Structure 1
Amino acid sequence: MLDRLQPGQWEVRDRELAGGRTRLCIDNGRRLIQIRHMRDLCRSFTLQDTPDMVTVHYTCPGNGYGQTSIRFESAQLVQLETQGIAQSLPFNLRAEVRRLGPCPS
């Protein structure tokens, strides 16, 4: 399912934090799995992978873990839920993730 997402600049809109928006450039949809551990090398285990939904549990030695579910709406829009521990602190994010266009040069 994640291979169907278009590369480019995406906006992550936190559903629970008014004005909580982050932009990131991704080369493929798999980058959204570890949104709180983007730079970490982690081991992952796919729990569910259907045409419309993927759920992955991952562990990052020395920096926590997470579990992410991504629901496909289109090649430019997904719903993301992720929770876990990063840098010894818990996180829980529910967000709409929308492609804005190509990454800025």
Structure 2
Amino acid sequence: MINEPEDKEIKDQFAKETLEKKPGTSGACFSWELKPGQAIPDVNIYVPLCQYFKSDKAIVEVIEKIFRNGNDVCNDEIKTPTVHTFISFHFSEKKGAYVTTYVAPFVRFL
């Protein structure tokens, strides 16, 4: 999910540059899901996609690479502003690894 060219060598200490240099808009957020009787809480990490990608199309292309299954899951002619806001990664013993994407499409109020 680093959105870098495939032929570029990525060093282990690589850190993706954020697009906006404002406090509170970069980095990642974490949440813990606490459930009765669960010894260790589930942890989620949320990555603010608008900080690492210039367009919604770029976001979709990377997500498609992750879930490549041969189906065309998105129109190539996306002309909307970025609507994908976060992507979260989660792992649990019961379900294994999974990813959730969050969208907030532009809505015009008249």
Give yes or no for TM over 0.5: no
Structure 1 or 2, whichever has the larger Rg, is 2
More helix by share: 2
RCO higher in 1 or 2 (8 Å CA, sep ≥ 6)?
A: 1
The structure with the greater share of residues assigned to strand is 1
